[in-house]
Amino acid sequence: MTTVGNYKVLKKIGEGGFGRIFQAEHILLKEKACLKQNLNADRAYVDLLQYEAKLLWKLDEYHSIPSIKDFFKLSGNSAVMVLSYIDGKTLEEIVEAKGPIHPEDACWITERLLGALYYAHCNGVIHSDVKPQNIFIEPYKRDIKLIDFGSATYKPKSDTLPVGYTPRYAAPELIQGKPPIPETDIYGAGIVLLRALGGDVLKRSFRSDTPKEITEFCQGLLRYDPSERPNWEKRNPLEELSELRLKVFGRRHSTDKDLKGGASK
């Protein structure tokens, strides 16, 4: 079994455009962790991973964002970032396997995501690649984890270019080469909610059985013009979603410990 620093590598659990993820165990503490290593042995990839680690270090106190435990460089243009272990599956994996998520579950997932984005934005970080594959669901904790800050920017200015994004899910301003802004991530939250509800991401269309109030809320997040989307100053989407949950489901907080399978009846 491979050992990296104080960690025993157990298995590979994922791979993206810039890095691969491993499940590991601390040799002395016997606690699980995730190791993220740059995909290619290249200095630019090491720098990118270190940049992500610095951003996560600034966001290390929020429950819906992974905690960074360590960062170290290896020989041969390789580096490893150690993160808290996430016990769950991505939203994309869940929808692919089980189909649409019950609207009440889709709403609490989106509410947790918006909370993470609010915390990141208050600390100057714009994620820029919010999508179903970057949302891990922890149903028994009633929480999510927003992962992969490799495309994030810190305090972007008017001339800041996007670091990276996924065209299928990207806000229009990113595709146009404009600077990422908080409303960019709010658009991503709309994409996540749409996918959770079983909607068509390419057409930005909803299932016919989606409650009208949820459809209208999600459409607001997905406005083409970012100035027409909710933001933290003029129309707080967290507050709007809380009110929506009370109106549609009769409560602001649900108590079911499992994600409900399939679409609403």
Residue 260 lies in a domain: no
| Whether residues 105 and 189 fall in one domain | yes
Give how many domains the chain has, as a whole number.
2
Residue 36 is predicted with a pLDDT of: 95
Instruction: Tell whether the model's pLDDT for residue 261 goes beyond 50.
Output: no
| Token pair recorded at residue 36 | 């993220």
Chain centroid to CA 87: 15
Tell me whether residue 114 is in a domain. yes
Structural domain of residue 7, as residue ranges? 3-84
For residue 1, what pLDDT is reported?
60
User: Both 131 and 208 in a single domain?
Assistant: yes
Kindly state whether residues 226 and 146 are assigned to the same domain.
yes
For 153-166, give one letter per residue: b (16+ CB within 10 A) or e. beebeeeeebbbbb
Name the band, by pLDDT with cuts 50, 70 and 90, for residue 256.
low
Q: Which two tokens stand for residue 40?
A: 């290619």
Residue 263 forms part of a structural domain: no
pLDDT classification of 241: cutoffs 50, 70, 90: very high
CB neighbourhood size of 88 (10 A): 17
pTM of the model: 0.92
Calculate helix-pair angle for 237-249, 212-221, nearest 10 degrees: 170
If asked whether residues 40 and 137 sit together in one domain, one would say: no
**135 and 229 co-located in one domain:** yes
CATH number of the domain enclosing 129: 1.10.510.10
**Same domain as 108, residue 73:** no
Alpha helices in the chain (DSSP H): 43-58, 91-98, 103-122, 172-175, 182-196, 212-221, 237-249
- Cβ-count burial of 4 within 10 angstroms (0-12 exposed, 13-18 middle, 19+ buried)? middle
pLDDT of residue 14: 82
**Which is more confident, 109 or 13?**
109
Query: Domain check: are 107 and 75 in the same one?
Result: no
Q: In terms of domains, do 117 and 242 share one?
A: yes
CA distances from 256 to 141, 187, 204, 226, 228 (A): 11, 28, 29, 34, 34
- Please tell me whether residues 30 and 61 are part of one structural domain: yes
The arithmetic mean of pLDDT across residues 56-64, rounded, is: 92
- Indicate whether 107 pLDDT > 80: yes
* Radius of gyration for the alpha carbons in the chain, expressed in angstroms and rounded: 19
Is residue 62 domain-shared with residue 161, that is, in the same domain? no
Mean pLDDT, residues 196-200 taken together: 97
- Please tell me whether residues 78 and 104 are part of one structural domain: no
**Token duo for residue 27:** 């040799």
